[in-house]
Amino acid sequence: MPRESNSDNESSTYNLLERPYKDKETLQELYHEKDLTQEEIADRFNVEQPTISRWIQKHDLQKESQSIHRTVHRDGKVQLFDGGEHLVYVHQVVALQEYSLNEVFDPSNDVHHLIGGPVAVDLPENLTVLSHSEHRKRHIEGTATDHPETVLQHTFGKFEPEIGSVDDVASDFEGTSAD
């Protein structure tokens, strides 16, 4: 028979012991007194930075001096926030060098990385705007990334590697994707 809690307080104390990042005093100490970043706190508790951000907001512990902060995701994509609200990904800003504001921020479009790798390469030449359905289709089919030589030819015209082969470089990135 399951044990019943005597009070809501007992239950919430148990949750805080399992998830100390939810505790206001813990976050106050780490974020304000020890001046750790949200990413550093997230790493300490083995959670994602948005989880820490949500609890910092819930406890009203935001830092006043920093209006925009960034998060670097495991795939290398950089996301910018304003007071906890998602603003933009850096690759979207970079794509604006080649595409219109309407193309980049149209809710039915995605900014896609042509060369997939262990981290996102946010160069204008490596980005294209695809419809959300086309972007998803390419990832499902496994055709989402181009061969690095294709992107280099697109960027520099005729491309001939000076050292080694492009296939050697491409093999380092096979099976990984920044998108």
Rounded to 5 degrees, φ, ψ at 7 are -155, 165
> How far, in Å, CA of 155 to CA of 123, rounded?
10
**Is residue 98 over pLDDT 90?**
yes
Residue 95, pLDDT score: 94
Q: pTM value?
A: 0.49
| Percentage with pLDDT > 70 across the chain | 73
Strands 68-72 and 127-131: unpaired
48 with 34: CB under 8 angstroms?
no
Q: Give tens-digit pLDDT for 22-33.
A: 999 999 999 888
> How far, in Å, CA of 116 to CA of 56, rounded?
33
95 with 124: CB under 8 angstroms?
yes
Q: Give tens-digit pLDDT for 111-153.
A: 998 887 777 788 898 899 999 999 999 888 888 777 777 767 7
Mean pLDDT of 20-46: 90
In terms of Cα–Cα distance, which of 93, 103, 91 is closest to 179? 91
